[in-house]
Amino acid sequence: MASTDGSPWFYPDRVGAAPGDTISIHASGPGGPCRLIARRIGAEETVCAEYPGIEVATHPIPEHADALGCGWPAAFSFTVREDWPTGYIDLELIDETGSSTHHFLCCRPAAPTTGRALLVLSTNTYHSYNYWGGANSYANVDDLAEGLDPAAARNRAIGKLSRMRPFAQGLLAPPPGAPRLVNLTLRGPGELVIPGDVDWILEHAPSAYDGSAGFLQKWEHRFVAWAEANGYELDFACDHDFEIPGGRLLDDYGTVLLVGHSEYWSKHQRDQLDEFVDGGGNLAIFGGNTAYWKVRWEDDARTLVAHKWKGELDDERWAADDPDSEATHLWSHPAFDRPEAQLTGLSFLYGGYHRLAMCVSRGSGAYTIYRPDHWALEGSDLYYGDLLGAGVPLLGYENDGCPIRFEHGLPHPADGVGIPPDLEIIGIAPAALLEPPDNPYGEIIPPEDPETLAGIAHGRSDAVGIERLNRGHAVMASFERGDGQVFNTGTTEWAHGLAAGDPFVARITSNVLDRFLGRTPQGPPGR
């Protein structure tokens, strides 16, 4: 990731934009003219603009470009036109030889569209996983590629990540056929599980972080393709838009959608979403691991600060006695007194993985339905004890949940950090945050300081507390907060159910969207 040889690498000076905004493209390449293509990607691809004849010179990559940015000069600027549709805009820079790389914009509408939901793209997560330049918030990926011990590579993760650099291409433009981050088949006796398509992985040798973030061919893209094909027009914004000084991103919307992997939230984002729901807004989460890590933007929103579990040690803004602090750590950390479950209803602390590596490696991949009379299941033909999504599978990579107690055959929320007592649980499935301690096959999922996680989630960081992380639940649920409503599927994989054509998943999605948008239900019938 430290060479520009053979490719015209580039980055825009912003990732959130609206019609009328001017975007500067900073680039470096082998020299010669390039062209930039801007494509809006949803159910279909639409070319918004093409800009030929861009002169791109060769510039050095500074040391620590992952943290400090590249500092390349602007090679070209363009203005987002009024006729560009709201949505994810793929930017492709192509040189004379046909070599190209990708970046992106999220185009907001010129004005909110009446009756539409606002889909917020999880761009903070994209940035946190971006390893161009060597490292991301998880590890020094260059060291991993060179065979460094995974634990040592994790210790070399960086807590400050520059937005002013290219993206690792596997995140933004994965090769066709990239496998899902889930065991698609059940593990046989004595078999080691490798997520996804083994032959594809051996052929393409992707980074472990390529499948975990980004839009194209992943969760958000699949959801958008389904929604647009089924008559749901959406407005778009991104996490970064919450950082606009004095901005009020949500004022003109009644429904906000989060899809897939919205893991990293700033205080500005959390403040606006809390206010939105309390004031009567509807929040639909078709994702998992939502709002897990607290982050902030610095340097005019050019540097993402995400120290994660090392926040208390490494973050100069840490102030344990200041609940309004912009220090970084888990949102569930008691110093902030704002666990994410207060807003989302659920937490990754009480969920985990399912059908991933050795975490519930022989699980059904499905929710067991317990409340078939819930409004989200109306007309679905689902009944008590039915499995939802076994053929997809619907559960997998990351799943949110809550502690569970049973009463007369029905699950109820038990005590957990921030878990709403009136949470209405629709379906559950087992999940685990850690691979089994006696796992004979070797570690695939890297643990992130289990002592800290256990201490926050279960009030004890000893072996007993850590063991409890292995006994979580994925949960689909809803609740009311303030004057608003929250529906949470609890799984990153929900959009894969839509892409697979699962009629039950489609019906539930339509029920949620129609209710929140005030539409007459028109979802596909269940079977």
Q: Which residue has the higher pLDDT, 184 or 508?
A: 508
Domains and CATH numbers, the chain: 9-111 (2.60.40.1930), 165-292+340-432+471-517 (3.40.50.880)
What is the predicted pLDDT for the residue at 197? 67
What is the predicted pLDDT for the residue at 323? 66
d(CA 176, CA 200) in angstroms, rounded, equals 10
pLDDT digits (tens, 9 = 90+) for 13-62: 999 999 999 999 999 998 789 999 999 999 999 999 999 999 999 999 99
Identify the residue whose tokens are 């470096």. Answer: 28
d(CA 372, CA 504) in angstroms, rounded, equals 12
pLDDT digits (tens, 9 = 90+) for 16-29: 999 999 999 999 99
Q: Nearest Cα to 454, choosing from 432, 475, 486?
A: 432
Mean pLDDT on 286-300: 97
Q: Is the pLDDT of residue 196 over 70?
A: no
% helix, strand, coil for the chain, step of 5: 20, 30, 50
Cα 519 to chain centroid distance, Å, stands at 28
pLDDT digits (tens, 9 = 90+) for 464-502: 999 999 999 999 999 999 999 999 999 999 999 999 999
Give the predicted TM-score (pTM) of the model.
Answer: 0.96
Identify the residue whose tokens are 């990731």. Answer: 1
Give me the sheet containing 74-79, strands edge to edge.
Answer: 9-12, 22-28, 74-79
Mean pLDDT on 417-443: 93
pLDDT averaged over the chain?
93
Element (H, E) at 123: helix 123-129
pLDDT band at 150 (very low <50, low <70, confident <90, very high): confident
Mean pLDDT on 265-287: 98
432's CB contacts (< 8 A; 6+ apart) are 352, 353, 354, 359, 360, 469, 470, 471, 472
The proportion of the chain whose per-residue pLDDT surpasses 70, expressed as a percent, equals 96
Q: Is the pLDDT of residue 174 over 70?
A: yes
The proportion of the chain whose per-residue pLDDT surpasses 90, expressed as a percent, equals 79
Q: Is the pLDDT of residue 525 over 50?
A: no
Cα–Cα distances (Å) from 191 to 181, 351, 439, 445, in that order, read 18, 25, 12, 17
What is the predicted pLDDT for the residue at 522? 60
Across 277-305, b (16+ Cβ under 10 Å) vs e yields beeebbbbbbbbbbbbbbbbbeeebebbb
Element (H, E) at 510: helix 503-517
Mean pLDDT on 434-448: 82
Mean pLDDT on 157-181: 92
108's CB contacts (< 8 A; 6+ apart) are 16, 17, 18, 86, 235, 236, 237, 241
Q: In this structure, what DSSP letter does residue 30 have?
A: S
Q: Which residue has the higher pLDDT, 1 or 148?
A: 148
Six token digits for residue 488: 């949470």
pLDDT digits (tens, 9 = 90+) for 310-364: 999 899 998 766 767 899 999 999 999 999 999 999 999 999 999 998 999 999 9
pLDDT band at 181 (very low <50, low <70, confident <90, very high): confident
Task: Report H helices in 372-460.
Answer: 450-458
Beta strand spans in 56-123 (E): 74-79, 87-95, 100-107, 117-121
Mean pLDDT on 137-146: 85
pLDDT band at 142 (very low <50, low <70, confident <90, very high): confident
What is the predicted pLDDT for the residue at 499? 97
pLDDT band at 194 (very low <50, low <70, confident <90, very high): low
What is the predicted pLDDT for the residue at 200? 76
Q: Of the ranges 155-164, 263-272, 438-447, 450-459, which one carries the lowest mean pLDDT score?
A: 438-447
Mean pLDDT on 184-207: 77
pLDDT band at 526 (very low <50, low <70, confident <90, very high): very low
pLDDT band at 110 (very low <50, low <70, confident <90, very high): very high
